[in-house]
Amino acid sequence: MSIILHCFGESGNAYKAALTLQLAEMDWVPKFVDFFNGEARTEAFLKLNPMGEVPVMQDGELVLTQSGVIQRYVIEKSGKFGGDSVEEDRQIWRWVLWDNHKHSSLNGNCRFLRNFIPEDKRPQPVIDWLEGRLKAAYSVLERSLETRDWLVGDKLTAADLSCCGYLYYPEPFGFERRQWPAIDRWLTRISSQKGWKHPYDLMPGRRPESSS
């Protein structure tokens, strides 16, 4: 039976889980969640995940939520994308936690405010603040990748697959690859992996009218 990933194409957090499953060559299928029309807040979905968020992974009777937990499960089941030592594993989860707190959470909010709500309701001071914080986060990534191919060790790990989650999206949210050459090279290395797909090709999506 295939693993089911409840997701939608616009979600960078869902993309982290989907891309990890995809590159690990696991048997999985995406199940579209109509987030923009409120499906994640329905009684049926909240029974699946009381947090009202994607991604949600179902592997038989097992249900997991939060992208980092799903990535950990993929590592355990496939043997891929973990570290080669206890210290490397610690460093991987250091990056995953940093990403969730300092990077992806800000990317997601900034991208949503800039693209997925009506233009007259976009809070520009909040957007400006988020973009300033994101510039600091991109600087952390840039410095870390200037002298190395991957964030941890000498291979692709969950650290990379977490931190890249929002950076392939085309909508404006304050990130321009050409301004960050080390990040740009790193994103190209990731997208050169066998089986890689863009988030809108890997997961079904339904963008609201306001994003067009």
- How does pLDDT run across 125-143, given as a tens digit for each residue? 999 999 999 999 999 999 9
Sorting pLDDT into bands at 50, 70 and 90, what band is 207? low
Domains of the chain, by residue range, sit at 3-80+197-211, 86-191
pTM: 0.94
pLDDT in tens, 1-38: 899 999 999 999 999 999 999 999 999 999 999 999 99
Domain 3-80+197-211 and domain 86-191 have a common topology: no
In CATH, the number for domain 3-80+197-211 is 3.40.30.10
- CA dist., res. 28 & res. 133, Å (int): 35
Give pLDDT, residue 209: 42
Residues of the chain with pLDDT > 70, as a percent, come to: 97
Reported as type and span, the H/E element at residue 45 is helix 43-48
CB-based contact 54:108 (threshold 8 Å): no
CATH level 3 topology of 86-191? Glutathione S-transferase Yfyf (Class Pi); Chain A, domain 2 (1.20.1050)
Closest C-alpha among 25, 41, 38, 32 to residue 11 = 32
148 pLDDT higher than 60: yes
